[in-house]
Amino acid sequence: MLLQLRQAVLDANLELNRRGVVLYTWGNVSGIDREAGLIAIKPSGVDYAAMTVDDIVIVNLDNEVVWGEKKPSSDTRTHTALYRAFPQIGGVAHTHSTHAVAWAQARRAIPCLGTTQADYCAGEVPCTAPLPPEEVRRDYETATGDAIIRRFQALDPAAVPMVLVAGHGPFSWGTDADDAVRNAVILEEAARMATLTVTIAGRDPEPLEDYVLDYHYERKHGPNAWYGQGKK
């Protein structure tokens, strides 16, 4: 079932490992077939080195397994919450990458301090509020998705394809599983750069000027984007 999607999701999970933003079985990637309403996602607790395309699990948007012999990722309900809330996304990635987690543990958004971040995120990387205790007790993974959704009530998830969950870590998304992984890797590098910048400055630096931020974001992602070679 959905072999092409399962292969794409396997490749995306392995790319997380190759890029060094996950350790052991930490992290997970999923992709969705919107027409079918089905999601391919990493199995829970399976080492990246041992994972095959037949280990990838298919679930529906109600978190029911419809194909596969393994348990899906423990974060599945967070993924499905994001797919339901953000219909424009096609892939979700979650890691515990070092610098992004450090900012999440500090309960701090990553300010946009320079053009590198502006090229991929239209402003700061937001951080959610801590989860209420009753939501954690009721359904922690869905509550994690709900916290992200609440934080994005006034934000465009296409323009800001990444977030920090307070005390937990980063989630990112994109047009497909591969794009979600790319944004996860970029988020970790942006977090590392921000950490170094704050350390060198010895204080919280001024954010990048809005007009520079807008220029860099629009040249890659705006309606008249001109970065790269374009389509022939």
Sign of CA dihedral 55, 60, 61, 64: negative
Say what angle helices 177-201 and 98-105 make with each other, to 10 degrees: 70
Q: 94 and 20 in contact (C-beta within 8 Å)?
A: no
Backbone angles phi, psi at 106, to 5 degrees: -80, -5
Note the Cα 6 to chain centre separation in Å. Answer: 18
DSSP β-bridge partners for residue 164: 127, 170
Q: Kindly state the tokens that stand for 157.
A: 């998830």
Length of the chain: 232
The DSSP output letter for 54 is: G
Q: 191 and 103 in contact (C-beta within 8 Å)?
A: yes
Strands 91-94 and 65-67: unpaired
Name the active-site residue from 33, 54, 55, 119.
Answer: 119
Catalytic annotation present for 119: yes
Name the active-site residue from 156, 204, 210, 227.
Answer: 227
Tell me which residue has tokens 């990048």: 208
Residues 6+ apart with CB under 8 A from 25: 45, 46, 47, 48
Which residues does the annotation mark as catalytic? Answer: 119, 227
